[in-house]
């Protein structure tokens, strides 16, 4: 079976798919939240409660191997600092301004989805992970499928400010470096501990930027009485932020961190190509968006590519 030669591999695969399903709806939630909330305010309202929630989980699950909260050894602090700075802080900051600079959301999404293409290079150089021909072929096939999912039927290709292009690639690089740091953090740390401290560190960077760019006035300008109406844009925005907090910022990050430390950076990031497929399905199921044939073909290519990417090379010279 390509997607898991043993139980641990299978669990990691399921965790990766679950995290991608959750993150595939994040873009929809972000767009709904930003109808009312400014970008940095939305990020603060998303990650501050997620840190508190993980702290509570860590306290309640002190004996769990996956969810107990541990102290950081001072020798490992640089790894946590780099991870927290790269993502969420740097990635979400660069992503936000990339979307703002590029007129076309389609182009921005395509550029920001190139993570799997560059992951093998970072993993080979920084972690000395072995990159097989199956990894490369699978990533290329699934990436073709990913671009078909994003670009098929889209007409909004006006670039806008070309600075958005390097910003998007910088965001992708930040996300990959974060994956590398999570992989390098010693195995004795639980996934919850890694994500908790990374988000705490990111908030230490986010809050000064938020005060500088938006600040408490952004919260004061909101008419909070609209919450009385469950169908109001503010109520929808608050529900969307709660989804981002609980599912995208806690559950999905922990699942991805757990799986990444088992399968490695290259194979874990290859699953990012499946996110547009699930996003397209969400839009089809809940918003009635038409899916042209090219998108269905793209989904098939993504799935085929992921199976190929996870394939283990045969051992040469082995006889039965």
Place of tokens 């760019």: 213
DSSP conformation letters of the chain = -TT-SSHHHHHHHHHHHHHHHHHHTHHHHHHHHTTTS-HHHHHHHHHHHHHHHHHHHHHHTTT-TTT---PPPGGGHHHHHHHHIIIIIIHHHHHHHHHHHBS-HHHHHHHHT-HHHHHHHHIIIII-----HHHHHHHHHHHHHHHHHHHTT------B-TTHHHHHHHHHHHHHHHHHHHHHS-TTS-HHHHHHHHHHHHHHHHHHHHHHHT-HHHHHTS-GGGGGSTTSHHHHHHHHHHHIIIIIIIIHHHHHHHHHHHH-HHHHHHGGGGHHHHHHHHHHHHH-----HHHHHHHHHHHHHHHHHTPPPPPTT---
Domain range for 190: 7-18+46-215+256-309
- The answer to the question of residue 315 being in a domain is no
- The answer to the question of residue 301 being in a domain is yes
- The answer to the question of residue 281 being in a domain is yes
Omega before 123 cis (within 30°)? no
- Write out pLDDT tens, residues 242-276: 999 999 999 999 999 999 989 888 888 888 888 88
- The answer to the question of residue 224 being in a domain is no
* Prediction pTM value: 0.85
Q: Per the structure, how many domains does the chain have?
A: 1
- The answer to the question of residue 98 being in a domain is yes
- Write out pLDDT tens, residues 288-309: 777 788 888 888 888 888 888 8
Which of 63-67, 69-73, 140-144 shows the lowest mean pLDDT across its residues?
63-67
- The answer to the question of residue 239 being in a domain is no
- The answer to the question of residue 229 being in a domain is no
- The answer to the question of residue 241 being in a domain is no
- Write out pLDDT tens, residues 201-249: 999 999 999 999 999 999 999 999 999 899 899 999 999 999 999 999 9
């Amino acid at each position: 079976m390509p997607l898991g030669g043993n139980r641990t591999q299978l669990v990691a695969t399921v965790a990766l798919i679950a995290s991608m399903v959750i993150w595939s709806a994040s873009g929809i939630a972000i767009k709904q939240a930003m109808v009312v909330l400014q970008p940095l305010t939305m990020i603060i309202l998303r990650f501050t409660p997620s840190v508190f929630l993980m702290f509570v989980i860590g306290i309640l699950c002190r004996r769990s191997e996956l969810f107990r909260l541990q102290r950081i050894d001072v020798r490992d602090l640089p790894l946590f600092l780099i991870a927290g700075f790269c993502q969420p802080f740097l990635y979400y900051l660069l992503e936000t301004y990339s979307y703002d600079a590029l007129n076309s959301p389609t182009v921005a999404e395509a550029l920001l989805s190139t993570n799997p293409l560059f992951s093998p290079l970072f993993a080979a150089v920084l972690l000395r992970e072995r990159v097989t021909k199956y990894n490369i072929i699978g990533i290329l096939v699934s990436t073709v499928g990913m671009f078909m999912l994003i670009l098929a039927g889209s007409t909004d290709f006006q670039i806008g400010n070309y600075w958005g292009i390097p910003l998007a690639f910088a965001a992708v690089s930040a996300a990959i470096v974060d994956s590398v740091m999570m992989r390098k953090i010693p195995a004795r740390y639980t996934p919850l501990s890694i994500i908790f401290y990374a988000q705490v560190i990111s908030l230490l960077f986010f809050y000064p930027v938020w005060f500088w760019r938006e600040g408490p006035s952004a919260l004061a300008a909101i008419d909070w009485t609209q919450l009385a109406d469950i169908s109001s844009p503010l109520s929808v925005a608050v529900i969307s932020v709660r989804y981002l907090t609980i599912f995208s910022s806690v559950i999905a990050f922990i699942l991805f961190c757990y799986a990444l430390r088992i399968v490695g950076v290259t194979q874990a990031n290859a699953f990012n190509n499946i996110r547009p497929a699930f996003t397209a399905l969400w839009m089809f199921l809940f918003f009635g968006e038409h899916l042209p044939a090219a998108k269905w073909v793209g989904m098939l290519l993504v799935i085929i590519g992921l199976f190929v990417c996870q394939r283990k090379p045969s051992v040469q010279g082995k006889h039965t």
